[in-house]
Structure 1
Amino acid sequence: MGQKSGVSGILEMRKLLLRAGLGESTLEEQLGEGQQAYADALYLLTRMRFTPEESCGYWSEILQHMESLNLTLGRDVGLRLALCDYFMNLHPRMREPVIVEVQVLLQKERSALVDELTGLYNRRYFNDAIQREVERFKRFGHRFSLVMLDVDHFKRFNDSYGHLVGDDALQTVASVLRDTARTSDHVVRYGGEEFALILPHTDAEQALAASERLRQAMERRPVQVQKDQSVPLTISLGAATFPEDAINARDLVARSDEALYEAKRIRNSACSYAEKNREFPRAPVGLTVLFHSPEHEPEAVRVVNISFGGLLCQTPAAILPGTRVEVVLPGDYPGQSGLRVGCRSLRLERDTESGPYEIALSFEGIGEDVRRALVRLVELDQGVDG
């Protein structure tokens, strides 16, 4: 059989997954693009996480193993049996696998990822889903947005009508979000009366428009508090976009929360994040980069923070404002050569006479490849396991 390349290989993989019992809707929702599709496929079959590069190699070897088993036994052993034998005997990664009907497994997993009251995804699902979107950006440059929303004056509502009616109100909000969101969006009950939506392939302007649609939809859906009485319920929403507003998942949540806080000052409104006086979000790091400049020998320099606009560095040597330098970014693993990025020194400061210089550098004309490299660097520095 062997592994086909490119689009034909992924189509062949989908056919095998369907024959293995995975539904079309599951594949549409869970499979990524390119090599990521192989990593997603192995996760669906084993619940083990592998890198896209590892997954391509494993998938090819599993297909070869399945073909060998078919010839030896004279029958089609199927993908699942070949995969189980491969990961237990040929490339041991499983110690004590348990055989269970896939629907039973999916039902148990769903119950662990779904909020019981609203039927929306829960915080555990959210943490995994937002990291998957970050991974998609790192591989394909696909932007996405996060909308956090809160029910206005919900404590007052609960105090006035009771907690059972409060539960009905939360279910109404969940229904509005489900009805208004796209099928590709991830709708989550984040906690209490706070909800979140992860919007793939969505920029800042689109995220704000989506937030406004949600706000208006909620205005049109009053909550029934008694048999003959309904009262309006409003929501406030804050949106932030990756990577324009943050270059890791944790900061994106924080920026969306800041936008939500601004919206709640007004109530029944939608706001997008805008960092005052800054074009690019910064992330604190402890990286070391290599400097090249006409006036200095190549030098390792400590980076204090990093953004899509540039670097703030500490160095024992003075690099005067206006000086052009080339920065060599670290690779994804030790020994890997990183990208070379042109920079210009903007500011030079020194707190003490014997202390290091603090230098602000501006990137010159970076592209999407550098943006993705910067996201990976921040995650590696902060210990995020992609």
Structure 2
Amino acid sequence: MGHDRRSGQGAWAGRRPGAIIPSPSSPARETGRVMTSADDDGIRQALLQLLEANPPDEEKLLARFESRRKEGESVYSAILYILTHLSFSETEAERHWRRIRRHRESLRKETHRDVGLRVALLDYFVNVCHELKNPKVIEIAIYESTARSAVTDGLTGLFNHAYFLSALRRETQRSKRHGLKLSLAMLDLDDFKHLNDTHGHLAGDGVLMKAASLMTQSLREVDIAARYGGEEFALILPDTPRMGAFVVADRIRKRVDEHFRRRKGGPAVTMSGGVATFPDDAADLEQLIKRADEGLYRAKAEGKNRVTVIGGERRQHPRVPVTHRVTVRGEGHAAAARAKNLSEGGLLVSFARAVPVGSPLDLTLRPRGGIAVGVRGEVVRVEPHGAQGRVLYDLGLRFLAEPGGPSLPLLRRLISDV
């Protein structure tokens, strides 16, 4: 099944000509290449044009298929699979195709009319080479509508969770094979349960549908949008590095925010997201999903309505593990924390609550038996973690080079004493 990846939908709309489907009593032949949803959409669209054409126009389009074959595309196996669900190698499919065209000419002479490609193809596979025993003829529009329901979400029209997993598996394999970057963005509507409770589930359904529409309008043809579950969405972005994926995800976030902010009397709706890239951040499909989800969780912890990118940190200074007690001061309050690692450029502390990224903090490091050192830093990342049955937060801080910032000699002494 081909699909228009710009909209995240299959190419389903409009009336389509018939397809020949083997019945259960007529098992499909498996002889080689199998067409899948990853095959060339251009071949499929050209085939649909051919089938919609009047018989005189078929000749011109058949010539176009011949030219595609010369360019190296697997045209004949694609045509026969889409029309009959019989799978052949390209060589065998071409041999059948030549025979079908000759058979069509024979039928023209015998009946004194052009029976067209579909009738000739059906008669050939049933009565000449006996590949089909008891086929069913069905309008492609009906067949595709049934096939669509198996891979799309009924509410939003995006691909469903099952299709998302198969597509992500396919794209990770392709990225690995060709050495390409593949990014995954996980997006989630903020406080959606509250929206449902306050405005009702019908309003919630409307928000989901509009968010999906805004999402698909922001994507390229090669991108794949899916409803991962509930109010969470997933974007597969082939051939896309980390920051390119961030631009796409953040553009969607802004469009959702702006759209619902403009609506008077409607609910305020925002979206958070996390971005991870294969193979930089993950070695396989499962890890890629987990890493993108970590970014999403971090975006929620940092205040929502934002997109967080996993990975990509560049450390200029080596870090050493420490266990110093730390006093954290911000907005007139002081609290205890524990340092986890230290470098000349920054500090990682374990803290009892999340602090928004970008917040300035004053900290006092108190090594055992040493001199207390005052530092000023900016929060650059926040990650939750469990400890002894409660949730703590790792705060990554970058030291600020300003009056009141850390004394480099004292920091170097702290590090060397570890």
TM-score by length of 1: 0.54
Q: Which has the higher contact order (CA 8 A, sep 6+)?
A: 2
Distance 1:231 1:133, change over 3 A: same
Instruction: Give the Cα–Cα distance (whole angstroms) in 2 for the partners of residues 84 and 249 of structure 1.
Output: 45
Partner of 1:63: 97
- Matched residue count: 254
For 1:37 and 1:206, locate their aligned partners in 2 and report how far apart those are by CA, in whole Å.
34
1:165 to 203, 206, 211: 203
Following superposition, the deviation at residue 118 of structure 1 comes to 1.9
1:89/1:201 Cα in 2 relative to 1: closer, same or farther (>3 Å)? farther
1:314-353 deviation per Cα after TM superposition (whole angstroms, max 9, x unaligned): xxxxxxxxxxxxxxxxxxxxxxxxxxxxxxxxxxxxxxxx
The question of 1:82 aligning with 2:116 is answered no
Secondary structure in 2 aligned to 1:220? helix
Following superposition, the deviation at residue 87 of structure 1 comes to 8.8
The answer for the alignment partner of 1:144 in structure 2 is 182
> Per-residue deviation at 1:177?
0.9
Question: What SS does the aligned partner of 1:78 have?
Answer: helix
| CA distance in structure 2 between the aligned counterparts of 1:59 and 1:149, rounded to whole angstroms | 43
Which residue pairs with 1:156 in the alignment?
Answer: 194
Q: Does 1:19 align with 2:58?
A: no
**Offset of residue 205 of structure 1:** 1.9
Matches within 5 A, 1:178-327: 178-222=216-260, 229-266=265-302, 267-274=304-311
> Counterpart in 2 of 1:123?
161
In structure 1, what residue type is equivalent to 2:266? S
Secondary structure, aligned partner of 1:231: coil
Residues 142-167 of structure 1 show CA distances to partners (whole Å, capped at 9, x for unaligned) of 54322111111212222222222222
Q: Distance in 2 between matches of 1:186 and 1:217?
A: 18
Counterpart residue number, 2:107: 73
Shift of 1:135: 5.3
Q: Is the 8 A contact 2:242 2:275 kept in 1?
A: yes
Distance 2:161 2:191 in 1: 22
Identical columns (%): 34
Write the distance in 2 (CA, Å) between the matches of 1:255 and 1:88: 55
| Structure 1 residues 66-108: Cα deviation after superposition (integer angstroms, max 9, x where no partner) | 233134334565167537844997484x664321011111222
- The answer to whether the 8 A contact 1:176-1:218 is kept is yes
1:201-258 Cα shifts (integer Å, max 9, x gaps): 3222211111111111122121799xx5133211111222334434543443333223
Retained in 2: the 8 A contact 1:211–1:237? yes
The unaligned stretches of length 5 or more in structure 1 are: 1-9, 25-30, 278-386
2:149 aligned to 91, 95, 111, which one?
A: 111
TM-score relative to the length of structure 2: 0.50
Q: Which has the larger radius of gyration?
A: 2
What is the CA deviation profile of residues 186-210 of structure 1, one whole-angstrom value per residue up to 9, with x for unaligned ones? 2221211011122233222211111
SS in 1 for 2:159: coil
2:161 touches 2:229 (CA, 8 Å); kept in 1? Answer: yes
